A and B are shown apart, each in its own frame.
Chain A
Amino acid sequence: MRIRLAALFFVTLTAVLSGHTLAADWQQIQQQARGQTVYFNAWGGSETINDYIRWAGKEVNQRYGIKLEQVKINDAADVVSRILAEKTAGRTTDGTVDLIWINGENFRAMKANSLLYGPFTQDLPNYALVDTEHKITTLYDFTTPVDNLEAPWGMAQLVFMYDSARISQPPRSMTELLAFARQHPGRMTYPAPPAFHGTTFLKQALYELAQDPKVLSKPVSEVDFDQVTKPLWDFLDQLHPLMWRQGKTFTSGSAEMQQLLNDGEIDISLSFNPNDASNAINSGELPDSIRSYVHRSGTIANTHFVAIPFNASAKAAAMVVADFLMSPQAQAHKADTQVWGDPTVLSMDKLSSADKALFDALPAGKAALSAQDLANVIPEPHVSWVEPLEQAWQQRYAH
């Protein structure tokens, strides 16, 4: 008992002490950051998101004297490739990437190959406000432990969208989806894996159809892959001939799906941002009648992050920017469906009442999900499932 008390005292003491040094350190980091330029490598396919990053750039410039330059990329994997090339060339300082928008497999690859700087998020003041208790994916990125190597930026959940002018009751499970396809042949599709929306669709279907979904949290090597995935392939064998273009060709991702939904070629699209539909209605990309829904079993959820490469040139400024992106102001602005509509990583319970009011004041989007739907999430399968699933899919449907 005494030992425990002593231990508790010790832990508290170090926490308090490190809290002090932390604040001092943070001031030092902010000073160092002034005048630095942060090259933020982030997907540039959405003007909505680009606009938000421009806004963030103006803010950090005013507040901290940091210049934020978005390097608009097609695919985060391009950047992983570039950092790898820098490592190949022995470039351990003065790298070309300061901050990268990342999650999932790309994060795992960078972590496994020691391409990341950190751990650093424990030093960011706003990290304390992150809801690590309920939003468990802020600690486990596609089941890979984050270990403070990336700062949570936004929450994502697989959601489906449909045109309520055409469909009264959307199919709220994979089985219902098959029934829907039987009734309306050629009106639904999903992106081809390994595009990540496609792979997520496979995982979601596997979760819903597997006899015992719990095995998905184990590494794939510990289970009988063929047996577990058999219901999935049976399902897809039936679904494909009923899909858009008889399943003979596929889309490249949610962006193309959304265009097809607007064109009226398909009735159901999918996204990783629960507020995508509301946002697209605002911008005129989708008609007013589009609504979002999730499957009854819940849908796969994850978090997206920003990370700093091991050889970043402006590490201090990158940390300040990462901290700003987690601030209540930046997170509330981002959650606004008129701006971006990306759900926050913060815990409302940890916010001051003034900060909480920022979130309460946000207008609800036209196609917003209920809080109940948003809470209905299922975890990503163990990260080792991705490769075999994609391989098996290609073996069956893409040769």
Chain B
Amino acid sequence: MSAGWNHWSRPGSNATHIKAQVLNNSHLRWFPRLTLAAFLLPLGFGLFATWLPAVGYLPAIGAHQLSLNPWQQVFNHPSAASALWLTLKTGLLSAILATLLSLLLLMLLYDTRFWRIIQWLLAPVLAFPHVAFAAGLALLIAPSGWLMRWISPGLSGFETPPDWLLVKDPAGFSLILTLTLKELPFLLLMSLSAVHQLAIRQSLTVARSLGYDQYQSWLKILLPQLWPQLRLPALAVLVYSLSTVELALVTGPTTPPTFAVLIHRWFNDPDLQQRLTASAAATLLLLICALAVIVVLVMEKLMQRCCRGWLINGRRSSYLKILRPLAAPVAAGLLIITGLNLLVTILWSVTRRWRFPDALPSQWSGRYWLASLEQLQQPFWNTLLAGMGSVLIAIVLVVGCLEYEQVLKRRNARFDPSRTLWLLYLPLLIPQIAFVFGLQTLLLTLHLEASRISLIGAHLIFVLPYTFLTLAGPYRAFDERYQTLAIALCRSRWRAFWQVKRALLTRPLLLTMSVGFAVSVAQYLVTVYVGAGRIPTITTEAVSLASGSDRRVASVYVLWQLLIPLAGYTLALCWPAYGNRHS
């Protein structure tokens, strides 16, 4: 009561005023709700509309009887068991490899000159579209690929490419390699933003003064703090690896293919009854992904229990040191592979003729680039619209959510932000193939298909989680005292936010937007399903050309697909420098 009286009696007091400002921001509570609704509704309906056919209900093809027949069909398929095994093997192995590698590189290289190079190159590497990356890798390492062309016929003696099983091998090694290479930069970027929130240098100094070497301090002190931030990205990588169709089609085995490819095939089978089988299989894949996530979480708990003794045993020596000399060459190797991958794609885009064993094209041509300029105008604008639209909505929603977190934090000091909004990551933990078919049905019922609005909405489902993942780290690490001070000085939370917090966070905000934009540009399945194919984007054009035989045209489109998000990153990196100088 007296507090209330105080509050009203001394409106001029800064402290009370600030408190009131903060607590009155309860309208912020709408942001988490809106954000969740933005993707939980389509996601939920999409899943539900896939589950119905999975139990035999799809009136359009005259299936009304609920039954477990579709599930039997899945298990009776000759390839099902081995495809499932293959999926588990490639998905788990590549996710584990990518996570381990990213952690090792972080621990071994952090704060070295090399690390800064990696930091710079991460964004462009991330902009490399998945399918293009896989296709480029195949162009590089296949027996008729560029590497072999360098040494043929001179060094290798091969006039025709050797019959070596390097790509699409039945064991799935080439798929594991592609997945690992492609997911590693994403995990590195995520650890980069997580590292912002830890007092790395201080921790290392303290640990060193206690006699721990750098690597031991990473393992015992920093890693346990880092992992909670990396858990979700790592799980997202796991689910992606288990459920990717595009990558598995390019570098995955064929006899049998992965389970996701089988599902894709069933969904596209001319025999429409197979739609039921596909739905059951998609649901099964969803269950498998959920199970894999649970297994990882249980393993994490077990690790925690087992390692507790080790963490505090006080031993100072570390085996990690042995790996140190390997780290830089491995990282350099990864960067070089990615660089060559890009280079071979560029070469093919200006080729007219290029046969084995020529190291370079025998005839060059720029006609595919010229032709693309005219043909890509409409897809270009669609790509820009969907990307900018979804990113702008996402950034407003995410900033709102993060601001609301601050409000909650003030109310309750023990509030742990990483526990909230985990639902946001659901789109990353659910295989796309398990809900896009259902999503399409929803949009059709609402007469919303093939409209640009629904395309933006559908992209938002995937842009939101990545936006949140990228921004949350730097945003939470922001020193709120600046903001408090600014409110005290200008007395308006909005002005303080815009002039101080936004200004100070310009770089992470822009970087987040460019990540979100890249995510939107890369969307294929959802763009085709929601846009009914009538809203062509750079990616839909690139993927449809990739199904043809002309590598040259496909390469041009892939490079466009890469250039557009890259332009976004460049803008994000250069804008703050330019903006600061001119404001």
Could you tell me which A residues sit within 8 Å of B by CB distance?
39, 41, 43-47, 69, 71-75, 77-82, 84-91, 96-97, 104-106, 108-109, 112-113, 185-186, 192, 194, 244-246, 248-250, 252-256, 258-260, 262-265, 280, 283-285, 287, 387, 391, 394-395, 397-399
Q: Given A72-B533, A249-B253, A264-B356 in contact, is the A77-B269 Cβ separation under 8 Å?
A: yes
- Name the segment of B64-72, B78-86, B332-340, B572-580 touching the other chain: B78-86
Q: Given A80-B270, A399-B82 in contact, is the A73-B533 Cβ separation under 8 Å?
A: yes
**Bound form: Cα–Cα A69–B441 in Å:** 24
Some 10 contacts from A to B, beta carbons below 8 A apart, are A44-B548, A46-B550, A71-B533, A81-B267, A85-B437, A86-B444, A109-B270, A245-B163, A252-B249, A398-B257
Contact indicator A259/B549 (Cβ below 8 Å): yes
* Min C-beta distance of B538 to chain A, whole Å: 12
Residues of chain A contacted by B546 (CB below 8 angstroms): 45
Q: List 7 additional contacts besides A45-B546, A47-B550, A248-B170; criterion CB under 8 Å.
A: A46-B549, A249-B254, A264-B144, A265-B144, A283-B550, A398-B254, A398-B255
Residues of chain A contacted by B160 (CB below 8 angstroms): 264-265
Residues of chain B contacted by A46 (CB below 8 angstroms): 548-550
Residues of chain A contacted by B534 (CB below 8 angstroms): 39, 69, 71, 96
**Bound form: Cα–Cα A88–B546 in Å:** 31
Q: Given A82-B532, A399-B79 in contact, is the A74-B547 Cβ separation under 8 Å?
A: yes
The count of chain B contact residues (Cβ–Cβ below 8 Å) is: 68
Residues of chain B contacted by A192 (CB below 8 angstroms): 254-255
* Min C-beta distance of A95 to chain B, whole Å: 9
**Bound form: Cα–Cα A254–B547 in Å:** 10
Q: Please, what's the 1-or-0 string for B335-353, where 1 marks a CB less than 8 Å from any CB in chain A?
A: 0000000000000000011
Q: Given A192-B255, A284-B353 in contact, is the A249-B60 Cβ separation under 8 Å?
A: no
Q: Given A244-B163, A249-B165, A264-B355 in contact, is the A43-B268 Cβ separation under 8 Å?
A: no
Contact indicator A265/B275 (Cβ below 8 Å): no
B400 in the interface (beta carbon within 8 A): no
Residues of chain B contacted by A248 (CB below 8 angstroms): 165, 169-170, 255
Residues of chain A contacted by B541 (CB below 8 angstroms): 44, 72
Contact indicator B355/A263 (Cβ below 8 Å): yes
* Min C-beta distance of B506 to chain A, whole Å: 39
Residues of chain A contacted by B265 (CB below 8 angstroms): 194
- The 9 A-B residue pairs whose C-beta atoms are closest, nearest first, are A45-B548, A105-B270, A89-B444, A186-B163, A44-B544, A263-B144, A96-B532, A255-B549, A77-B268
Select which of A47, A113, A244 is within 8 A of B545 by beta carbon: A47
**Bound form: Cα–Cα A1–B40 in Å:** 75
B154 in the interface (beta carbon within 8 A): no
Q: Given A45-B545, A80-B272, A263-B161 in contact, is the A85-B144 Cβ separation under 8 Å?
A: no
Contact indicator A81/B268 (Cβ below 8 Å): yes
B416 in the interface (beta carbon within 8 A): no
Q: Given A81-B275, A96-B450, A394-B78 in contact, is the A74-B270 Cβ separation under 8 Å?
A: no
B209 in the interface (beta carbon within 8 A): no
**Bound form: Cα–Cα A248–B174 in Å:** 14
Q: Select from chain B the residue with minimum beta-carbon distance to A109.
A: B270
B271 in the interface (beta carbon within 8 A): yes
* Min C-beta distance of B526 to chain A, whole Å: 13
Q: Given A258-B549, A394-B256 in contact, is the A74-B543 Cβ separation under 8 Å?
A: yes
**Bound form: Cα–Cα A265–B77 in Å:** 32
Select which of B60, B165, B528 is within 8 A of A245 by beta carbon: B165
Q: Select from chain A the residue with minimum beta-carbon distance to B351.
A: A284
Select which of B59, B270, B449 is within 8 A of A88 by beta carbon: B59
Q: Select from chain B the residue with minimum beta-carbon distance to A83.
A: B60
B32 in the interface (beta carbon within 8 A): no
Contact indicator A255/B547 (Cβ below 8 Å): yes
Q: Given A86-B444, A249-B253 in contact, is the A256-B549 Cβ separation under 8 Å?
A: yes
Residues of chain B contacted by A285 (CB below 8 angstroms): 549-550, 552
**Bound form: Cα–Cα A250–B551 in Å:** 19
B58 in the interface (beta carbon within 8 A): yes
**Bound form: Cα–Cα A323–B552 in Å:** 33
B459 in the interface (beta carbon within 8 A): no
Q: Select from chain A the residue with minimum beta-carbon distance to B76.
A: A391
Q: Please, what's the 1-or-0 string for B439-457, where 1 marks a CB less than 8 Å from any CB in chain A?
A: 0110011000110000000
**Bound form: Cα–Cα A86–B353 in Å:** 44
* Min C-beta distance of B528 to chain A, whole Å: 7
Q: Select from chain B the residue with minimum beta-carbon distance to A191.
A: B254
Residues of chain A contacted by B371 (CB below 8 angstroms): 47
Q: Select from chain B the residue with minimum beta-carbon distance to A78.
A: B268
Q: Please, what's the 1-or-0 string for B495-537, where 1 marks a CB less than 8 Å from any CB in chain A?
A: 0000000000000000000000000000000001100111010
Contact indicator A45/B551 (Cβ below 8 Å): no
Q: Select from chain B the residue with minimum beta-carbon distance to A248.
A: B170
Q: Please, what's the 1-or-0 string for B157-168, where 1 marks a CB less than 8 Å from any CB in chain A?
A: 000110101001
- Interface-central residue, B265, B440, B450, by most chain A CB under 10 Å: B440
- Interface-central residue, A44, A73, A192, by most chain B CB under 10 Å: A44
Q: Given A258-B549, A284-B363, A399-B256 in contact, is the A263-B163 Cβ separation under 8 Å?
A: no
**Bound form: Cα–Cα A264–B143 in Å:** 10
B61 in the interface (beta carbon within 8 A): yes
Contact indicator B79/A96 (Cβ below 8 Å): no
* Min C-beta distance of A354 to chain B, whole Å: 33
* Min C-beta distance of A145 to chain B, whole Å: 17
Contact indicator A387/B254 (Cβ below 8 Å): no
* Min C-beta distance of A259 to chain B, whole Å: 6
Contact indicator A109/B272 (Cβ below 8 Å): yes
Residues of chain A contacted by B355 (CB below 8 angstroms): 262-264, 287
Contact indicator B254/A91 (Cβ below 8 Å): no
Residues of chain A contacted by B536 (CB below 8 angstroms): 71-72
Q: Given A74-B543, A249-B254, A264-B161 in contact, is the A113-B61 Cβ separation under 8 Å?
A: yes
Q: Select from chain A the residue with minimum beta-carbon distance to B356.
A: A264
Which residues of B78-98 have CB atoms within 8 Å of chain A's CB atoms? 78-79, 81-82
B540 in the interface (beta carbon within 8 A): yes
Contact indicator A84/B272 (Cβ below 8 Å): yes
* Min C-beta distance of B404 to chain A, whole Å: 36
Q: Select from chain A the residue with minimum beta-carbon distance to B269.
A: A77
Contact indicator B163/A255 (Cβ below 8 Å): no
**Bound form: Cα–Cα A202–B581 in Å:** 68
Contact indicator A398/B272 (Cβ below 8 Å): no
Q: Select from chain A the residue with minimum beta-carbon distance to B167.
A: A249
Residues of chain A contacted by B487 (CB below 8 angstroms): none
* Min C-beta distance of A280 to chain B, whole Å: 7
B553 in the interface (beta carbon within 8 A): yes
* Min C-beta distance of A202 to chain B, whole Å: 14
Residues of chain B contacted by A77 (CB below 8 angstroms): 268-270
B205 in the interface (beta carbon within 8 A): no
Which residues of B130-158 have CB atoms within 8 Å of chain A's CB atoms? 142-144
* Min C-beta distance of B410 to chain A, whole Å: 47
Residues of chain A contacted by B528 (CB below 8 angstroms): 73, 78
* Min C-beta distance of A112 to chain B, whole Å: 8
* Min C-beta distance of A271 to chain B, whole Å: 9
* Min C-beta distance of B18 to chain A, whole Å: 53
Q: Please, what's the 1-or-0 string for B259-289, where 1 marks a CB less than 8 Å from any CB in chain A?
A: 0000001011111100100000000000000
Q: Select from chain A the residue with minimum beta-carbon distance to B59.
A: A88
* Min C-beta distance of A262 to chain B, whole Å: 6
Q: Select from chain B the residue with minimum beta-carbon distance to A247.
A: B255
**Bound form: Cα–Cα A80–B544 in Å:** 17
**Bound form: Cα–Cα A186–B165 in Å:** 11
* Min C-beta distance of B261 to chain A, whole Å: 10
Residues of chain A contacted by B143 (CB below 8 angstroms): 265
Contact indicator A89/B548 (Cβ below 8 Å): no
**Bound form: Cα–Cα A86–B446 in Å:** 11
Q: Select from chain A the residue with minimum beta-carbon distance to B440.
A: A85
Residues of chain B contacted by A255 (CB below 8 angstroms): 547-549
B365 in the interface (beta carbon within 8 A): yes
Q: Select from chain B the residue with minimum beta-carbon distance to A194.
A: B265
- Interface-central residue, A74, A82, A397, by most chain B CB under 10 Å: A74
Select which of A87, A186, A259, A284 is within 8 A of B365 by beta carbon: A284
Select which of A82, A259, A391 is within 8 A of B551 by beta carbon: A259
